[in-house]
A and B are shown apart, each in its own frame.
Chain A
Amino acid sequence: MTAATGQPTATRPALRHRLAERGIDRALLLLVPGLIFIAVLFLYPFLYGVGLSFSPQQGGGPFANYRKFFDDPYLRNTLWTTFRLALPAALINVLASIPMAYKLRRPFRGKRTLTTLLVVPITLGTVLTAEGLLEYLAPAGWLNKTLLALHLIDQPIELVHNYWGVLFSLIITGFPFAFLLTMSYLSGIDPTLESAAATLGAGWRERFRFITLPLLAPGLAITFCLSFVLAFSVFPSAFLVGDPSGRTRVISIAAYHAALEQFDFSLGSTIAVIMTVAMLIVIAAVLAWRGTLYKGASGGKG
């Protein structure tokens, strides 16, 4: 608008109309509060953090923090520790969801109860899950007692304060999420496609392999991405049920430690940036693979 103020009055409505034709009018002002908010509280801090990561507190050139991260094995290994937790957790959650969602995709009595129950662990959150796991999986906890009573093991197995505790907590909070997503993708596939295949004599294996799976695969890619993001940002449970100074020292713990315990905000931001980039690389790879898949209509509501 400001550009048009100097113009003769006859062209002003014309410009307004031309802009309105392209979809720019006063209604877009409604977007402004949201955009300002995102810019001030998300983009600015994030870019500020990126800038901060290139100006190390100890000096040594803009890349000193990044060199430090990749040179220091204690810091570098947090990246692999995180991948070792997040990849298996996301894979288990997605792969277990496929057969279960496939079997339970049709309406049946109690389906709503089942989905309600599945939302519970998502609601409980990681802190409470961790507290519960600490007692349930403890050497004298119910799981070890049951296994001992069934003579499956001779002595209690250690499941908390190590890798397994964190993996279990990631599965308990992550599986319902992956399952519900997979279920909603499956319900977006038209069941008549499968019935048509069945009429032509395809068994359930062929139907699953050649009809359902190809239609489901793009959805599975998204499910995997979201599950991976959830698992990759593991923080409280790595502290509580893990071994936060050793085998489950994940990258978010390293970032927190650097920023808010050593007050090296620059190094903390560096680790946060590395964490974001690593996560985006995985997501980009999965989405690139997704781009090669069938993207046509699946016939359903999805």
Chain B
Amino acid sequence: MSTTVIDPVPTPVADTAAAPRSGRRLVGSPGTWLVWGLVAFFFVNLAGVVFSVLVSSLSVRWFGTWLPDGWTTHWYSDAWREFNLSSVLVVTAEVALSVVVVSVLIGLPASYVLARRTFPGKRLVMLLFLLPILIPPIAYGIPLATVLYKVHLAGSLTGVILANLVPSVPFVVLTMTPFIEQIDTKIESAARMCGASTAAVFFRVLGPLLIPGILAASILVLVRTVGMFELTFLTSGPTSETLVIVLFNNVLGAGIRAPQSVDAMAVVYTASMLVLLVVALRFINPTQLVTRLKDESTA
């Protein structure tokens, strides 16, 4: 995994430059205090944002006081019934899992070629895979929704899955390419020398080595798809709304429902995202991932 985080031995030369200030002494310089103050300020406000929703979802009534008058959990069962959450969650899971499976199936072979070969037009191909990530989803989502309406796919589950695949496939390509690059080519050459066919190399040699990378990419795609608002919003119909869309519609239509039951749904959403996130972070380190992505985007 990462050398920056886990490596227990600090660089000795660097230590002489800065360690006395940031390391053992409790009294830091004003700059250190300012930075930690800013970090603390950010997290206090973030906690305020998250806990406002949590406290509100558990409150009987909450008007203008520090804490609500009483506590209850019945908003959760209300929200579950009112918003038909079980079917919404099924739709969300169907969309997210299909997107993960298809995007890995399409993206993985492409990233293998991009990692191992040089060929004319490679930069153009890389650019093609980069564009759907760089261009705002709304900007290509509207033409995409137009096309999907034309072929009568918009509003259906298929339409939502297709739309969500557009940024997911390039995402798999961009995360898997550096992962494949770091696998020693000698392993493949050895397998070929022993007479393995391309398929055998792919499934019996590379496959097992790629599992951690595939898992990391899959979970990231899963998180992105569950949280993807714009594309799903533009292409979903009444039967294909994911959790985030239902949440948005109810926050926008505030006043129709009790705010607590909308908040309860928001907590359900947060909890499912956090579970995914904790699982994801068991496999990857965020700073490592952006470094890899950076290398790709600047190449």
Q: Is B209 an interface residue (CB 8 A)?
A: no
For chain A, residues 187 to 235, give those with C-beta under 8 angstroms from any C-beta of chain B. 187-188, 191-192, 194-195, 198, 218-219, 222, 229, 232-233, 235
B263 contacts A131, C-beta separation under 8 Å: yes
B129 contacts A143, C-beta separation under 8 Å: no
A23 contacts B119, C-beta separation under 8 Å: yes
Q: Is B229 an interface residue (CB 8 A)?
A: yes
B4 contacts A136, C-beta separation under 8 Å: no
Give the CA-CA distance A223 to B42 in the complex, in Å. Answer: 20
Which residue in A28, A52, A107, A302 is a CB contact (below 8 Å) of B10?
A107
A268 contacts B142, C-beta separation under 8 Å: yes
The number of residues on chain B lying at the interface, defined by a beta carbon within 8 Å of a beta carbon of chain A, is 106
Q: Is B7 an interface residue (CB 8 A)?
A: yes
B281 contacts A119, C-beta separation under 8 Å: yes
Q: Which of B10, B142, B145, B233: most chain A CB closer than 10 A?
A: B142
Return chain A residues, CB-CB under 8 Å to B23: 108
Separation in Å of the B133 CB from the closest CB of chain A? 9
A172 contacts B45, C-beta separation under 8 Å: yes
Give the CA-CA distance A45 to B276 in the complex, in Å. Answer: 32
User: What per-residue 1/0 map shows which CB atoms of B14-48 lie under 8 Å from chain A?
Assistant: 10111100110000000110110011001101101
Give the CA-CA distance A52 to B144 in the complex, in Å. Answer: 12
Q: Is B70 an interface residue (CB 8 A)?
A: no
Assess A256 versus B273: contact at CB under 8 Å? Given A31-B110, A184-B287, A194-B17.
no
User: What per-residue 1/0 map shows which CB atoms of A275-296 lie under 8 Å from chain B?
Assistant: 1100100010000000000000
Give the CA-CA distance A279 to B140 in the complex, in Å. Answer: 13
Return chain B residues, CB-CB under 8 Å to A116: 281, 286
Assess A114 versus B290: contact at CB under 8 Å? Given A195-B14, A269-B143.
no
A129 contacts B49, C-beta separation under 8 Å: yes
Separation in Å of the B163 CB from the closest CB of chain A? 8
Q: Is A90 an interface residue (CB 8 A)?
A: no
Give the CA-CA distance A24 to B120 in the complex, in Å. Answer: 8
For chain A, residues 120 to 135, give those with C-beta under 8 angstroms from any C-beta of chain B. 120-121, 123-135
Which residue in A37, A183, A235, A272 is a CB contact (below 8 Å) of B140?
A272
Q: Which residue of B lies closest to A273 (CB)?
A: B139
Separation in Å of the A111 CB from the closest CB of chain B? 6
B142 contacts A222, C-beta separation under 8 Å: no
A115 contacts B117, C-beta separation under 8 Å: no
Return chain A residues, CB-CB under 8 Å to B227: 123-125
Separation in Å of the B78 CB from the closest CB of chain A? 17
Return chain A residues, CB-CB under 8 Å to B139: 233, 252, 255, 272-273, 275-276, 279
Return chain A residues, CB-CB under 8 Å to B45: 136, 143, 172
Assess A132 versus B53: contact at CB under 8 Å? Given A37-B165, A45-B143, A195-B13.
yes
Give the CA-CA distance A128 to B273 in the complex, in Å. Answer: 11
Q: Is B252 an interface residue (CB 8 A)?
A: yes
A272 contacts B142, C-beta separation under 8 Å: yes
Separation in Å of the B250 CB from the closest CB of chain A? 9
10 inter-chain pairs at a CB distance below 8 angstroms, sorted by A residue, are A31-B109, A42-B131, A119-B281, A124-B270, A125-B227, A235-B229, A240-B248, A260-B145, A272-B140, A276-B139
Q: State the 9 A-B residue pairs at the shortest beta-carbon distance, nearest first.
A: A49-B143, A233-B136, A34-B110, A132-B49, A30-B109, A23-B119, A135-B52, A125-B227, A191-B14
